[in-house]
């Protein structure tokens, strides 16, 4: 047994997971955002391995060229909209430009992966979120560990989390720069990818991870449960799945929940009295009052009703993203309304179309290939992710703005590119052999 080879393999695994953890969650270490640290480490490793020029050339090839130029152009359009309205509000540009820079880091990281690791990038992301889930649960169970986690959180995040604690709602437990919408939304997206791995392998470990992510998401936000619903929808719609897999899934979930009740009665009491009423407020309100509603959904509908859309605003927007006091323009956090208020309806349509092209066409070197030529499983997964993102956009800025979501989507598309390239190479080799 070659222990040096094993040790090197373990180090590579740890490095990849650590970089992804830093990149996705963006917390601080000594005042420095971990995304900056991850970017620096990726560039250093890339240079040491002599892959810098190779990576630069990648940006000149399809489909990375389109993605790189398209994202850069999208950032420029946002900046132009601002100045055409004679405003100096560049907050939106800064947010999208951050996505542009994260894309570059993701590509450099992707190039550094071995061929086998490229095909397993989604599993790496799942392990990263599993690690975050364990951190959240430990922070919930141990006040001292929670204090340790807070050392790496930003003060504004802590202040907002403390407001929830005043209301006896446990929030802000994650080792992450974002503790609310973006984090919970990305948890929901990971649930979809976990179910995808489960259906492909029928390995029970994916159900364990799904339970882990679901449990920890109760301390993050309600948004992630939308992803849980979409994950089960994906499970039911998945083509050519084993006939027994749904029954097996439901039985396993029941056994896990029953075991949890027996093993952790004290924790269950806290969950029942505090966490469940918040996480499942929609259900609790339905039982008590006969209507599906929550403080978040009520406020969302209020914002839609209160929004004053003039014809000019609908057409070309107002070029504003924030108000002078730093709050959201028109006091709405809905992604659809914020983009209409900023650049008008055509800008919103362009944003959605750009995101759809990313999910459905980037996996092919020729963009003339129709989406229906994708295999059924990939087409279904991309469609579920797309619709899930559109639903989330009602609640908050998701498309081309939420770092956690976009990083996951980028790597998902890179994996499609890798899969598509492998299939094409196989066809070429088989034709050559003939």
- pLDDT > 90: percent of the chain: 33
pLDDT tens, residue by residue, 24-49: 999 999 889 999 999 999 988 888 87
Mean pLDDT of 302-319: 73
Residue 161: the pLDDT is 63
pLDDT bracket for residue 372 (50, 70, 90):
very low
pLDDT tens, residue by residue, 77-121: 999 999 898 888 899 999 999 999 999 999 989 888 888 788 889
Lowest mean pLDDT among 177-186, 348-357, 361-370: 361-370
Q: Is the pLDDT of residue 165 over 80?
A: no
Lowest mean pLDDT among 172-181, 236-245, 298-307: 298-307
Mean pLDDT over each residue of the chain, to the nearest integer: 79
Residue 74: the pLDDT is 93
Residue 282: the pLDDT is 52
What's the whole-model pTM score?
0.84
Q: Is the pLDDT of residue 432 over 80?
A: no
Mean pLDDT of 225-252: 80
Q: Is the pLDDT of residue 391 over 70?
A: yes
pLDDT bracket for residue 162 (50, 70, 90):
low
pLDDT tens, residue by residue, 328-344: 888 888 899 899 999 99
Report the candidate in 334, 37, 335 with the shortest Cα–Cα distance to residue 177: 37
- Give the residue, 131 or 257, on which the prediction is more confident: 131
Residue 351: the pLDDT is 95
Residue 426: the pLDDT is 42
- pLDDT > 70: percent of the chain: 76
pLDDT tens, residue by residue, 120-154: 899 999 999 999 999 999 988 888 998 899 899 88
Residue 421: the pLDDT is 64
pLDDT bracket for residue 352 (50, 70, 90):
very high
Q: Is the pLDDT of residue 235 over 80?
A: yes
Mean pLDDT of 167-171: 56
Q: Is the pLDDT of residue 209 over 60?
A: yes
Q: Is the pLDDT of residue 286 over 50?
A: no
pLDDT bracket for residue 261 (50, 70, 90):
low
Q: Is the pLDDT of residue 65 over 90?
A: no
Mean pLDDT of 249-278: 58
Q: Is the pLDDT of residue 363 over 50?
A: no
Residue 374: the pLDDT is 61
Lowest mean pLDDT among 58-67, 135-144, 161-170, 175-184: 161-170
């Amino acid at each position: 047994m070659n222990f040096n080879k094993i040790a090197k393999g373990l180090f590579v695994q740890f490095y990849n997971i650590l970089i992804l953890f830093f990149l996705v969650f963006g917390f601080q270490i000594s005042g420095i955002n971990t995304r900056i640290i991850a970017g620096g480490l990726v560039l250093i490793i890339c240079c040491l391995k002599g892959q810098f020029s190779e990576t630069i050339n990648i940006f000149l090839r399809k489909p990375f060229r389109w993605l790189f130029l398209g994202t850069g152009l999208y950032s420029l359009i946002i900046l132009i909209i601002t100045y055409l309205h004679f405003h100096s509000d560049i907050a939106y540009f800064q947010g999208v430009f951050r996505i542009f820079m994260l894309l570059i880091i993701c590509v450099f990281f992707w190039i550094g992966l071995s061929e086998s690791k490229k095909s397993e990038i989604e599993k790496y992301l799942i392990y990263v979120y599993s690690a975050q889930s364990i951190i959240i649960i430990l922070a919930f169970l141990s006040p001292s560990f929670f204090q340790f986690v807070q050392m790496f959180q930003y003060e504004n995040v802590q202040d907002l989390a403390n407001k929830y604690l005043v209301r006896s709602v446990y929030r802000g437990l994650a080792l992450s720069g974002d503790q609310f919408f973006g984090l919970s939304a990305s948890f929901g997206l990971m649930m979809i990818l976990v179910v995808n791995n489960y259906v492909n392998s029928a390995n029970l470990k994916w159900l364990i991870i799904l339970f882990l992510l679901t449990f920890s998401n109760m301390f993050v936000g309600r948004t992630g449960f939308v992803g849980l619903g979409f994950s089960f929808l994906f499970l039911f719609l998945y083509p050519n799945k084993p006939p027994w897999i749904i029954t097996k899934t439901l039985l396993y979930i029941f056994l896990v929940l029953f075991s949890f009740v027996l093993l952790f009665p004290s924790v269950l009491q806290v969950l029942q009295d505090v966490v469940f009423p918040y996480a499942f407020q929609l259900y609790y309100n339905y039982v008590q009052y006969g209507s599906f509603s929550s403080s978040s959904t009520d406020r969302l509908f209020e914002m839609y009703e209160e929004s004053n859309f003039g014809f000019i605003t609908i057409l070309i927007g107002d070029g504003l993203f924030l108000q002078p006091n730093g709050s959201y323009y028109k006091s709405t956090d809905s992604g659809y309304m914020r983009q209409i208020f900023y650049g008008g309806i055509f800008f919103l349509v362009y944003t959605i179309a750009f995101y759809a092209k990313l999910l459905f066409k980037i996996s092919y070197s020729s963009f003339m290939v129709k989406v229906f030529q994708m295999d059924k499983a990939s087409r279904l997964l991309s469609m579920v992710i797309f619709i899930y993102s559109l639903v989330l956009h009602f609640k908050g800025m998701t498309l081309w703005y939420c770092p956690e979501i976009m990083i996951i989507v980028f790597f998902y598309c890179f994996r499609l590119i890798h899969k598509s390239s492998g299939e094409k190479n196989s066809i070429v080799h088989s034709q050559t052999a003939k």
